[in-house]
Amino acid sequence: MSGRAVAACSALALLIASAASAAAPAVQFRVYAQTGIRLTDIVWTGERFLYLENTKNTVWAADRTGRRAGVFASMPKQTEETRCRLPAGSHGFAAGDLYCHSPDNTIYRIDPSGKVTTFAKLPEQAISDGALAFDTVGRFGFALLAATGRSGRSNSAPGAVYAISPAGVVRRVGRYTATGGADEIVVAPAGFGSGAGQAVLTIDAGKTGSLLMMSPRGAVRRIAQLPDGPNPIVAVPRGSGGASPGVAPGLYVTDTLSKNVFFAPASALARYAGDLVVGSELRALFWAVRPRGSGFQAVRIPAVLPGSKFNLEGAVYVI
C-alpha cells in the first residue's frame, strides 16, 4: 500500500475478518432467475431488472420475475467486466438514465430508450473492472464515482478513484496501491462511523482480498482483510422502502458461472441493517462489515447458495 495509505491506516481501523457468529442463522439464497447469459451485473429500475452480459456488453431487460424480455442496449464489446448504476434522479443526474463503466474506462450513458452515448473518459490506459457508484451521501458532492484497477492479480498495482460531475467533468479523488485491483465501489451509508459517506473498494487478489476506504481528500485505509477475493458489495438499508408490487425486497446477486441470479430475502438480512454486506467471487463467502469504535469489524455471515462452484459478480439490494 502507498505511504499515504499506510499513514492513514491504524490498528483500530484494520480488523481481520472474524468467524461466523454461532448465534446468526444461515442466510438461505435461492435461484431467482436462470438467465442463460454470463452475468456481470444487475440493476433494479423500480419497474424491471437490467442484466449486464459479460464481454458482449449487452444490457438485457428482464421482467419482475427475472425472466429476460429482450435487449435494452448494446455497448462496444470489451473483455472484462462492465458495471452499471442508476441515479436517484437528483443533483443533476436525470432519472431513468443508466451509467456504465466499461473495461477501457469509458463511461457510457444510456437513456430510457436504450440510446448509448459516451458520457466521460477516465484518464487511464490500463484495463479496469468497471467499478461504479453514485455518491448518495454527499461527501463527494453527489458525483458519480468510478474506480480503476484490475482484479485477480497477485502483484501490487495502482488504481484510482474519480468523481464525475453531471456535465461529465472528471477529477481524480485519489490513488491507491494494493495487491489486486478494485472490482466494485460503494459509498458507505451516513451512519457508518468514521467512514460515513466514504468510498469503499472491494480489492480482489484472487485467493485473498481486502476492503479499502477512500475519503473525499483521497486518504486511503484498509478496513478489512478477507480470505477470498471480494466482489459484490451492497449497503443494507435501515427500515423498509416502497418496492413495486411483485418484487420481493432483499439481496439479488449475479453469478457468471451458473448464469443465475441468486436471491436472499430482506427478512434474512434484517440483523445486518446499516452494514455493508460483501461476497467473495469464487467461494461465495459473505461478510457484514460495520463500525467498531474508530475502526471496523468484518463478521462472517453464514450463507447457503445452490451449487458448489461460483463466480459471483454484481449485486443489488431492493427495498
Looking up residue 24, the CATH number of its domain turns out to be: 2.120.10.30
pLDDT of 242: 60
- Residue 150 CB contacts under 8 Å (≥ 6 apart), including other chains: 80, 126, 127, 128, 129, 157, 181
At residue 22 the predicted structure's pLDDT band, cuts being 50, 70 and 90, is: low
Is residue 144 within 8 A of residue 199, CB to CB? The reply is no
At residue 16 the predicted structure's pLDDT band, cuts being 50, 70 and 90, is: very low
- Residue 198 CB contacts under 8 Å (≥ 6 apart), including other chains: 139, 187, 188, 192, 213, 214, 215, 216
The three-point CA angle 249-197-312 to 5° equals 45
Q: Rounded mean pLDDT of 107-125?
A: 98
- The Cα–Cα gap between 67 and 65 comes to 6
User: Which segment of 145-149, 178-182, 279-283 scores lowest on mean pLDDT?
Assistant: 178-182
Q: How many of the other CB atoms lie within 10 Å of CB of 202?
A: 31
DSSP symbol at 8? H
pLDDT of 105: 97
- The Cα–Cα gap between 22 and 30 comes to 22
Count of domains for the chain? 1
Is residue 200 within 8 A of residue 187, CB to CB? The reply is yes
| 169-218 residue pLDDT tens | 999 999 999 988 899 999 999 999 999 999 999 999 988 999 999 999 99
- pTM exceeds 0.95, yes or no: no
pLDDT of 13: 41
Q: Which of 307, 89, 279, 309 is nearest to 184 (CA)?
A: 279
Q: Rounded mean pLDDT of 4-8?
A: 39
Cell of 175: 490513488
Cell of 17: 475478518
Residue 169's domain spans which residues?
3-318
| 39-82 residue pLDDT tens | 999 999 999 999 999 999 999 999 999 999 999 999 999 988 99
Q: Which of 301, 255, 249 is nearest to 275 (CA)?
A: 301
pLDDT of 21: 54
Q: How far apart, in Å, are the Cα atoms of 14 and each of 223, 297, 306?
A: 5, 8, 32
At residue 9 the predicted structure's pLDDT band, cuts being 50, 70 and 90, is: very low
pLDDT of 6: 34
pLDDT of 10: 39
Residue whose C-alpha cell reads 446477486 in the numeric block: 253
Mark residue 153 as left, alpha or beta (left: phi above 0; alpha: psi -120 to 50; beta: remaining).
beta
Res 292 pLDDT > 90: yes
pLDDT of 245: 72
- Residue 35 CB contacts under 8 Å (≥ 6 apart), including other chains: 51, 60, 62, 66, 68, 259, 260, 261
